[in-house]
Copies of this chain bind each other. A is one copy, B any other.
Amino acid sequence: MSYLLSYIVAKLGGELVGPDITIERLAPLDAAGPGALTFLANPKYRKQLDGTAASAVIVSPDMAEAAAGRSLIVARDPYLYFAQVATLFHPTPVAVPGIHPRAVVGEDSRVGGSSEVREGVSIGRNTVIGERCRLLPGVVVGDDVVLGDDVVLHPNVTIYAGCRIGSRVTVHAGTVIGSDGFGLAWAKDHWFKIPQTGVVVIGDDVEIGANTTIDRGAMADTVIANGVKIDNLVQIAHNVHIGEHTAIAGCVGIAGSTHIGAYCTVGGAAMFVGHIEIADRTHIGGGTLVSKSIRKPDNYASSYPLSTMKDWLSNAVHLRHLDDYVERLKKIEREVGALRNSEEDKE
């Protein structure tokens, strides 16, 4: 697969500067050789530009001069442009229509004729699968599920009964959607399970990583809005809502009934307690414990700074006595105030 730069520009926009050559592959700035197209998005890598053997570079308008001397595509957002070119070079696999004889499709279920259902797939009863979907080996879809069009379920994904999934949704291997929420009531001497009677509703254009878990709601539903992107090993508890186009990195946990707004970003391993609300366009740093609602969009963090074990041992121990130290600081302020006053009285 190879493309002329002029073909790429005709397809994706941007301005071609320099000779119109054929591009055979894509590569990062520091590893690109002849025939490769690369990009410069971050000015801090500008030095690598001189050394690159790439045949062509995607640059922003303000970098065009510095990059002169080879073929360039000048584009407002070189990183996004590069991603778009990568999609030309690496198109998504398309469904090979048909239901494998070793798949099982339950009664009253419908699978779109252009969809691909591979060996070892199990589809329950009364389930609807749209067109051009790909259900890869080992996928299990329960009863009464609705899948839109162009949905890709990677191997060993499980979708529990009743869940509704939009179109152009990709779910990576091992992810579980619709398992019971962790709802318990204490009954004198044991936990009584609260039936989890809601489902999971997922919008369009959502991508979910591998081995992630999204629990069904209790009574009401767990809701993942359009355009949300979720990474691997993320836990989303019952009745959580995630707003449109929010992106959630790996190892994040979101406890029950928490609502996260639209256009948020959540760093890896951040944790949210339950029953809180996070404003639209909030950004949470990696490892943050979000312990209360956030009304004001901003960047948030909470973590003890990295230290050598030796430094940590000598410093962190004081955290257990911080209240005492603060009291002592206040006392000494009062005393010094008194001493200063008596000093001034004497003058």
Contacts and interface: CB of A to CB of B under 8 A. Distances in A.
A269 B233 CA distance: 12
A46 interface: no
A179 B136 CA distance: 13
Interface string A211-254: 11101000110000001010111010100000001010111010
A164 interface: no
A323 B319 contact: no
A301 interface: yes
B122 A137 contact: yes
Interface string A312-342: 1111111111110110110011011001101
Given A77-B187, A104-B119, A179-B232, 12 more contacts: A28-B220, A77-B185, A154-B160, A180-B209, A251-B271, A253-B268, A300-B306, A315-B320, A316-B322, A329-B332, A336-B339, A339-B343
Interface of A: 26-28, 31, 77, 79-80, 82-84, 86-87, 89-90, 102, 104, 118-120, 122, 136-138, 140, 154-156, 158, 160, 170, 172-176, 179-180, 182-187, 189-195, 197, 205, 207, 209-213, 215, 219-220, 227, 229, 231-233, 235, 237, 245, 247, 249-251, 253, 255, 267-269, 271, 273, 285-292, 294, 298-323, 325-326, 328-329, 332-333, 335-336, 339-340, 342-343
